Amino acid sequence: MAPQRPRGVDANEPKVEPVMGALLPEQSAPLPTLSGQLYAALDLGTNSCRMLIAQPKGSQFLVVDSFSKTVQLGAGLEASGKLSRASMNRTIQALRICEKKIEKHGVGRMRLVATEACRRASNSKEFIKQVRRETGLTIEIIGSEEEARLAVISCAPLVRAASEQLLIVDIGGGSTELVWIDLSQVDPDDRPKSIMRLSSGFDRQGLGDARVVDWISVPLGVATLKDQFIDVEDDSARFALMSWFFEESLATFSPATVAQPRKGFQIIGTSGTVTTVAASFLGLRRYDRAKVDGLVMSSDQIDLVIREYLALGPEGRRTDPRIGRDRHTLIMSGAAILQALMRIWPTDQLSVADRGLREGLLYAQMTADGVLGDGPFA
């Protein structure tokens, strides 16, 4: 499947107050239900099912409950083109838990979305009907542009005032979204706000607006890229092939052909791969979001962690507490994607984002309802 491009005009033409998306530890005991309307956001991806329940608080939101489960919905999709019965059953079991949490908290507004695996599977419509029948939940399959847009607005708080060129990368299970944004004509103090305004679309071209130079959705994520090279036995060779293969898929992404100066250039990476690499760099044996979200890493620091992963080998990675049991089989495909990006765009300003689609969904719903107060990202 070819990378997806924008439609129409060529894109190259002219603590209790966590910040947005400050999460509780996944599957920890929920906070007591608060007064006021609650919102839910569910992201059903190729590998994981994740949900947040939150309440508006000022210009941000407070997370009331969360859920995350590895379901491997896309297992076997590359070979068969279909969601398997086993993967659908695993996912429905997880969605039943989500439905109980939604009911328990009396959630008033929700948006539950599925991404790449359901976009690609020939039996996804039947699966969505089965989910509705067995759980009562209505799952919406969103397009790659909306997925990219939601990831972008979730990262706005991490945008630096000094950043003139911004690349936001969301490495998923089945796809990777890259969005290149020109902020050079935006007042430095308004740059995070200008990213939030992209929630209405990537075609904003007004004076002082953030301008999307190009975006791409590559149908290669940590699960689908791994499946492409599952028959390569040598660990180092497999990693090198994955990194090369992903880099080749960016040939039509126009900023990939233009060298960028390090000054004024920022990359924000949002994914389990990026946060795992960050946690490994910090030596965290127990994940700590407060230390990871917003951490700035250089290309050299990322390369050091990746070389450590290669030296560990498959067995060493399986037992490394920094990686975790749910991610050890996928970390090298994610690292291959990250290495390819660092090879194309060396940087001292990769900002690690422990936030993504769910946070974007929450912010978009609350903004549409007018329930967020004035603040830095209004």
Selected residue with higher pLDDT from 20 and 295: 295
| 96 and 164 part of one domain | no
Domain for residue 27, yes or no? no
Domain for residue 371, yes or no? no
Query: What is the pLDDT at residue 245?
Result: 97
Place 3 in a pLDDT band, splitting at 50, 70 and 90: low
Domain for residue 308, yes or no? yes
| 121 and 196 part of one domain | no
d(CA 280, CA 282): 5
| 113 and 167 part of one domain | no
CATH number of the domain enclosing 177: 3.30.420.150
Backbone angles phi, psi at 234, to 5 degrees: -70, 125
- DSSP assignment string, 41-92: EEEE-SSEEEEEEEEEETTEEEEEEEEEEE--TTTTHHHHSS--HHHHHHHH
* Boundary-marking domain end, from 145, 176, 200: 145
Of the ranges 30-34, 42-46, 81-85, 138-142, which one carries the lowest mean pLDDT score?
Answer: 30-34
Pairing of strands 109-114, 140-141: parallel
- DSSP assignment string, 137-150: ---EEPPHHHHHHH
Statement: residue 272 has pLDDT above 70? yes
pLDDT digits (tens, 9 = 90+) for 218-271: 999 999 999 999 999 999 999 999 999 999 999 889 786 666 677 889 999 999
| 336 and 288 part of one domain | yes
| 65 and 96 part of one domain | yes
**Letter for the amino acid at 348?**
D
Listed in sequence order, the residues at least 6 apart from 244 whose beta carbon sits closer than 8 Å to its beta carbon are 340
Q: What range does the domain containing 134 cover? A: 39-145
Output the six-digit token pair for 203. 């075609």
Domain for residue 175, yes or no? yes
Query: What is the pLDDT at residue 29?
Result: 41
| 140 and 211 part of one domain | no
Give Cα separations from 95 to 66, 233, 345, 354 (angstroms): 13, 35, 39, 22
| 166 and 125 part of one domain | no
* Boundary-marking domain end, from 145, 176, 199: 145
Domain for residue 362, yes or no? no
Output the six-digit token pair for 88. 């659908």
Query: What is the pLDDT at residue 256?
Result: 67
First-to-last CA distance in the chain? 37
| 320 and 189 part of one domain | yes
Number of domains in the chain: 2
| 177 and 246 part of one domain | yes
pTM of this structure: 0.83
Statement: residue 190 has pLDDT above 50? yes
Query: What is the pLDDT at residue 292?
Result: 95
CATH number of the domain enclosing 109: 3.30.420.40
**Letter for the amino acid at 127?**
F
Query: What is the pLDDT at residue 202?
Result: 86
Q: How many CB atoms lie within 10 A of CB 193?
A: 17
Domain for residue 335, yes or no? yes
Range list of H helices, the chain: 77-80, 85-105, 116-120, 124-135, 144-154, 191-196, 222-228, 235-248, 272-282, 289-292, 299-319, 331-344, 357-369
Q: Mean pLDDT, the chain, as a whole number?
A: 87
Domain for residue 272, yes or no? yes
d(CA 268, CA 294): 9
Output the six-digit token pair for 228. 């492409």
* Boundary-marking domain end, from 110, 145, 180: 145
| 300 and 203 part of one domain | yes
d(CA 319, CA 324): 8
- In terms of average pLDDT, the best of 77-81, 91-95, 317-321 is 91-95
Domain for residue 202, yes or no? yes
Taking each helix axis as running N to C, give the angle between helix 272-282 and helix 299-319, from 0 to 180 degrees, rounded to the nearest 10. 90
| 265 and 320 part of one domain | yes
| 127 and 84 part of one domain | yes
